[in-house]
Amino acid sequence: MEKITLNHPNSQSIDLIAQHISQLSQLFPEVIKEGKVDFEALQDLLGNYIDTPEERFQLNWAGKVQARREAQKRSAGTLRPCPEESVDWDTTDNLYIEGDNLEVLKLLQKSYYKKVRMIYIDPPYNTGNEFVYKDDYSDNLTNYLELSGQDSSLGTNTESDGRYHSNWLNMMYPRLKLARNLLTDDGAIFISIDDNELANLRKVCDEVFGEENFRNILLTRRRIKSLNSQFADKGLQTMNVGFEYILVYSKSVAFTMNALRMKKNFVPDKGRWDVFWSNADRPTMRYDILGFTPESGQWRNSKEKADIAVANYQEYNNNYSDKISLEEYWEKTGIDDFIRRIPNGVGKNGGVQHWIAPSDTSLRTSNWTDIEVSQIAKEIDLPFENPKSKQLMTELLQITDNNVIVLDFFSGSATTAHAVIQLNAEDGGNRKFILVQLPEATPEDSEARKAGYKTIAEIGKERIRRAGKKIVEELKAKQAKDGALFAEEQKKLDIGFKVFKLDSSNINTWDSSPSNLEGALYNSVQNIKSDRTEHDLLYEILLKYGIDLVQPINEHVLAGKKVYEIGAGALIVCMADHVKPEVAEAIAQLWKEVKPTAIDEPSKAAINCRVVFKDNGFDDNNDKTNVLQILKQHGIDNVVTI
């Protein structure tokens, strides 16, 4: 029976370096020698002449090498469940995660690799005033845990620091690299930014996502503000900045955008006439809308209707055109809809014309200045400062399909979650969100602190709670007005979310300090931290085995012990103490009851079932050995302890 310790590969996030080497070895096995890459051999295979770094076109900055390495470092942290702060814990597919997004992105690599279709982030713009998290590459998790307990801002990035742009790039670079791994092959990322770092962000994204995967820069309107302080402080004159940007990069060429339409000024009498058919056309070229059958050259609907349409137009043109619009004439006379759309006049060569009514929408371009980028959600009475526009997020969400996972790892005011729920309510979609937010302290003198919200994360969670309730109320009212009952809906709207918080692993680390030898020896026996629960352990196991955090978990009591079963018996976990052989027998019977019927052979059973116990959950080695042997007899060989 294998024991999973803190240093075991399964107790940490995915090993990205090993994964990259494995993928490279499949393409070019000859360049992998003793587990390492022979870069000279790789260059030869690719036919590349090696340029000096000074001659190569690239973006470099102080700390880039460390930032790249940080993206590949493994995290030994975990995400601890918080059902008491959640909504609909047992049924929701949405996640809200508190913690440093760099560590969280590492922990999500196994469970959500290539599962996220859309990423939207609104990172700090690096104006010199707002918060920028400064990573401690030596031990980022410990650094976060220390800083997150402070009741103050974690830091700003000013030009006086000497590495103004470098600090910002060092924050963004590893996060973007990790985020790319989570995107599906047909996924895309949308990043809000302003002029301060637009140029640098585009260069970084060209490197991370590939220059060929740049799709758009969307132009959005910002609220008129005073002149940027960075100019005013220097005594420089400039114009007010009226725009912000959204960079769009895809994971690959597989990404496709849905066509979006925007509202425009509607002028009802500004339609046009167009020719659908003329005597010069062949029958096979004639449009179905004319009610014409090309094969026989016959009118499917009587040609008399077309003649009536022409007569109606002539009547309008002769007697009413100077009094009312054509649309008003149609409405007053109650003319048959078919006749309206069928030709209303005769064109050249005996052609039959039809009236094309004006449209109140037009296709969206990259100009989104009809939307203000920051807009307070008036229906949610919460003390936000400059929250992202819900309308903007709703529009962006419609670019992709309505059954996708949406990730926002700079969550802020939780506009992304609000927009996801709102749009699902409107179009019946099944979008799911994953939000990540640092528990950054609200300023002491802010309205948020006065209202009792100590962190940005607390405000974000409250917004989702209130937004979900309000949307459900509005949906019920609409359905009642339409004569429908909300309870009769085929699919219930998901307004819930599971809250998780970043923390150190539930497993004790070995402390080699001579001054703490007694404590270290105790921890080697009692290896699970005393303040951690069974659910804490369970979700760390899910993370490390690559199972998503919204996977349904079935609880059973077997031989007096609580047992968790996930994925039709693919994973069975027992974190109880004093485990006896009868528990193993009960687990084996449970697996036979829940396993897929197509899997019967012992060999398949061993592959498709993993059982996890707590290492100190056995009274002695005899019990541990007996449990292992019983499970093997039933075809379950994959048994480990933590």
Tens digit of each residue's pLDDT (9 = 90 or more) over 461-501: 999 999 999 999 998 888 777 765 444 444 689 999 999 99
The listed range with the strongest mean pLDDT (73-77, 114-118, 218-222) is 114-118
Count CB-CB contacts under 10 A for residue 277. Answer: 22
What CATH fold (topology level) applies to the domain 69-225+388-500? Rossmann fold (3.40.50)
Mean residue pLDDT across the chain: 79
- pLDDT score, position 255: 95
The whole-number pLDDT of residue 349 equals 46
**Low-confidence winner among 254-263, 362-371, 473-482, 498-507 (lowest mean pLDDT):** 473-482
**What's the full length of the chain, in residues?**
642
Higher per-residue pLDDT: 26 or 84: 84
Higher pLDDT, 284 or 483: 483
| pLDDT given at position 322 | 82
Q: What single string gives the DSSP state of each residue in 79-141? A: EEE-GGG-BSTTT---EEEES-HHHHHHHTHHHHTTTEEEEEE------SSSB-----TT-HH
pLDDT tens sequence across 311-336: 676 777 788 878 887 667 767 776 65
How many CA within 13 A on the CB side of residue 640?
15
Q: Does the pLDDT at position 222 exceed 70?
A: yes
The CA dihedral of 619, 625, 628, 629, to the nearest 10 degrees, is -140
Q: Phi and psi for 473 in degrees, rounded to 5?
A: -60, -45
What distance, in Å, lies between the first and last C-alpha atoms of the chain? 10
- Average of per-residue pLDDT across 142-155: 62
Residues 67-96 have a mean pLDDT of 94
How many angstroms separate the CA atoms of 444 and 232, rounded?
A: 26
Question: Which pLDDT score is estimated for 378?
Answer: 60
H or E segment to which residue 263 belongs: strand 261-263
- Where do the domains of the chain lie? 13-60, 69-225+388-500, 267-358, 527-641
Percentage of residues of the chain with pLDDT beyond 90: 45
pLDDT at position 245 is 95
What integer pLDDT is reported at residue 115 of this predicted model?
Answer: 97
Tokens of 381: 């009475």
pLDDT of residue 187: 97
- Does 607 have pLDDT greater than 50? yes
- For the stretch 156-215, pLDDT in tens is 666 656 577 888 999 999 999 999 999 999 999 999 999 889 999 999 999 999 999 999
Is the pLDDT higher at 1 or at 174? 174
SS3 297: coil
Q: DSSP labels for 156-225? A: B--GGGS-HHHHHHHHHHHHHHHHHHHEEEEEEEEEEE-TTTHHHHHHHHIIIIIGGGEEEEEEEE----
pLDDT grade for 350, boundaries at 50, 70 and 90 = very low
599-to-142, 563, 589, 594, 604 alpha-carbon distances in Å: 44, 22, 14, 11, 6
Tokens of 36: 């390492």
Choose the weakest-confidence range: 282-296, 365-379, 524-538: 282-296
Residues 6+ apart with CB under 8 A from 280: 349, 351
